[in-house]
Each structure stands twice: as C-alpha cells, then as structure tokens.
Amino acid sequence: MLFINLLLATTSIFLITYGIISIPKYLSRRKIYAKHGCLPPPSIPQRDPIFGLDLILQFFKALKENRRNLSMNQLFQAHGHTFQSVTLGTTAVYTIEPKNLQAVFATDFSSWGVEPMRLFAFEPFVGKGIMCADGAFWEQSRALIKPTFTRAQIADLHLTAYSAHVNKLIGLLPKDGSTVDLQPLFSRLALDSSTEFLFGASVGSLSPHSVSTDARSFLEAYDYGQMVVGRRLHLPKWNFLTWDKKFWDSCSIAHEFVDGYIARGRRICEQSEKGNVAPERYILAHEMIKETRDHNDIRNQLLNVFLPAHEATGVALTNVFFNLTRNPSCYAKLRQEILDAGEQAAWTFERLKSLKYLQYVINETFRLNPVIGTNTRMALRDTILPTGGGSSGTAPIYVKKGDRVTMSFYALHRRQDLFGDDANVFRPDRWNTLRPVPWSYLTFGGGPRVCPGQQLALTEVGYTIVKILQRFPAIENRDPVNQFLEVYKITTTSRNGAKVGFPTP
C-alpha cells in the first residue's frame, strides 16, 4: 500500500511539474500561431502515429534497395510540396518549396543547425569540423578554410597541377574502343587533385605504374566509411552499425592516411620557419599546422574539407559522362563547341564559363543527379517556415525546437512547374531559356553554409570534360541498364558507374 501511495505521489508530482512547464509554452505557441496565421502542413498517413516506426522502416528499406532519392520523390508526388510526419516521436517536415529553403539556408539561418544530427554520424570518420558543427566552432572552421578556395588559388591549380592529373587520366583511357568504367578513374583523379590542393602533395593514384597500397586501401576505406556514415545519419545512437568492425577499421585507415600528410606538412613548416624552403601557396594542411598543435583537430578539419572536395568532382564527372553516353547528340554538340573555341589560350575559370553549352550540360547533370540528394536541418529554437501549411499549402508553418526539416534537391529539381513537363529528361538546351526561380536550383546549398569549394569543383569538372572531348571524337554507352541506379552514401553515386567506350574512327 505504501508503494502504491508513493507511486501515485510521484506520478502526481511529475504531471504537475510537466503541466507547469508545458502549459505556458503551449499558450505562448498558440499566440504565435494566431499572430502569424500558422497552420500545420498535411500529414502523411502512418500506421504508427506516435513513433513513426512504419515510415522509418520504409526509409530503411529504400536505403537497403538503393532508391532513397526515388522514394523521397514519390512521397512528394503523392503528398505535395510540403508535408509532415512523426519520426521517433518528433515532427519531421519535408519540403521542396523554394521559400522554405531560403528561410532555412539564409534568411532564418541562425534558427537551424546540423550538429545535433550529424556529429554522431560523422565524428568517428571525419571528426568534428565544418560539415558537422554549428556556432562559433563552425565559424572558425569556415574562416580558416575559405582562403583555400579563392579564385586565385583555383586559377593556379588549373594552370599547373590539375592539368597534369587530367593528362594522366586520359593516358589511362583505352584508345582501342574497349569498355572502361570511368567512375573509379574519376575517383582517383579527384583523390590526386584533392590531396595536392589541400595537403600539398598528390597521392599519385593515376600514376601509370601500380597504385600504391596506401592509396588503394584509403580509397576502399573511404568508400565504405562514407556508406556507413550515410546510414548512421538515419539511425539512432544505439544502432548496430555503431559496432561495425569494418567501419571502425575504415576510420583508422582514413586517419592514418591523413596523419602521413600532417607529418609531411610539419616538416615543411619547420623548414620554412628556418628559411630553408620558399613559401608555398595557401595550403590548408600547412595553415592548420601553423594555427594549432592539436593533431586531432588538424586531422578532423582536413577530413571535413577533403570529403566534399573529393566527392563534388568525382561523382559529378561520373554523372556527366553517364548522361553524355546516353545522349550522343549532346556529346557531339558539346565537342563541336569545344573545338570551335580552339586552344589559343589557357583553360581558365573564366574561359570555361564562356562555353555556354558546356555550362548547360553541367547544370543539367547537377539538376538531374545532384551529388547531395537531400539535406536536413534541426530547429535550434522555435521558428516559422514561410509556406506549406493548411489545405491551400500557403500558410506559414510553426516548427518547434528539436523538430527537423528535410529538403530533397532531387525532388525539387524534378518539379515540372519549375523545370518543364520533361523535368525527368536530360535536356541541356532547356538552360538556354530557363531562369530558375530563386532557391529552386541548389547544387551546392546556399546561404552562409554554401559549399566553399563550388567554384573549384565546377572548374575541375569543366576542365576535365573539355580535355576528354578534345581527345575523343565520339562516345558509346556500354551499360545494358539505361536508367540511373543510385547508391546512397553521404553522396548519391551511380551504382553502375559510367561504362563507356571511345570508338576508333
């Protein structure tokens, strides 16, 4: 009897305390609702309206079957441009309304963050850095990284080092018309370029000699680590992948790989301080070494930049040639534009931008096959999305602290009202007249967190396309599967790569 009375008393105290805390907050939120005319967006049907386990299982199945972007697009087609669901007891809003994306990425930037969601997933692999931090730590990381991606640095890259990497890649392409998968070659190109640009020395994976064991093991570990991080983003902290031995081994390999470059950078910096070595260009690894003696912090910052820098180029190039092989007329038209431009000057960033059809092909590839298919933010405080609520889909939406908003670039870029009735078709010429609605075409995000390396990636992609098309008059698709099959890691890559042939005349 005493136990029952104690239990009842404890329960009563809990309910009273909960009411004292919750009722004022509820009343405050109701006032904001009324003041701004907020209405909830449509809710998708769920068998489990409390924890949303049915939707979670649906997402896990889509991940396992490598159709995450397709599954997300189907939800938007079925439920409209903005809807909500219950996920693990919290509200999740899904939206592809440009005004909402503008609010999250720019105009209401401080109300949204990534660290509460990403840090658990990313930290074992790349540590705490620009990709998975908020606030002052993120600002400091961004300030340190920004000089690496100035226009001058990019121009220097393409006048010197990058062209040598591309020449090595072209030397590995078969000249007898046999089939080659461009995906692993583009990954190695991005690895060589990224290590030189960020660490000060290339790993040389495109060397005509055998690839070093370190480079090969790093690429394998890097690929697997990305895949697991992508899944950890969707799983609670107690998930079984936390004890995946192969994942932890991959993390160790990646760390040891970067540690070697840090040690090299320390030697160069020490020699430079003694006056024995002339100052080099701005190299992120060297600047980090000058800023701090914390080895783990240096490694984390480098890996946080290396990952998107590598993926933006390698994945995008694979997707470009995936599309060109299935559209040989586009290949021929683009090649003619490149040949007409001639070789009278170096291929600088400005000159590449002047090739209109080249830019159309790149834009169309990023539209149909964005490297990052979705992006999620967590509300760091109670806030409002400008549209998507109510039966009309135009009322503001109240979002509580801790709720999430997921934005699908993949689905956004396929909106027929924004990109035409043939939005699912690769047609670069649409960009001749298309002027996207602001915040409807997002290849590198937007606002303060916009990818600092976007111009680097676009320059690398454009330059590589130009040099390959100069060398090869035609291209053939050698993949029996015509449609794009996705593999979701942190990025979305082609499951079948880009299997092509360059037929001999």
Q: Which residues are known binding-site members for heme?
A: 451
Q: Structure tokens of 440?
A: 């409807």
Q: SS3 sequence, 426-456?
A: CCHHHHHCCCCCCCCCCCCCCHHHCCCCHHH
Helix axes 295-325, 135-145, angle to 10 degrees: 70
**If 0-12 CB within 10 Å is exposed, 13-18 middle and 19+ buried, where does residue 175 land?**
exposed
Q: Give the closest residue to 62 by CA, choosing from 376, 424, 487.
A: 487
Q: Structure tokens of 192?
A: 């060589």
Q: Give the closest residue to 97 by CA, choosing from 492, 392, 316.
A: 392
- How far is Cα 460 from Cα 429, in angstroms, rounded to an integer? 22
DSSP conformation class of 105: I
Question: Residues marked as binding?
Answer: 451
* Cα dihedral 387, 390, 394, 397 in deg (nearest 10): -20
- Quick count: other Cβ atoms within 10 Å of Cβ 146? 10
Q: Structure tokens of 322?
A: 């995936």
Place of tokens 């003696």: 293
Q: Give the closest residue to 250 by CA, choosing from 502, 489, 10, 479.
A: 489
Using alpha carbons, list the distances in angstroms from residue 470 to 333, 346, 424, 429: 12, 14, 29, 21
The residues, ordered by sequence, that sit 6+ positions from 111 with a Cβ below 8 Å of its Cβ are: 379, 380, 381, 383
Task: Provide the β-strand partners of residue 179.
Answer: 501
- How far is Cα 193 from Cα 451, in angstroms, rounded to an integer? 18
3-state SS assignment for residue 383: strand
Using alpha carbons, list the distances in angstroms from residue 171 to 41, 95, 187: 55, 45, 16
- Which helix (H) or strand (E) segment holds residue 363: the answer is helix 356-368
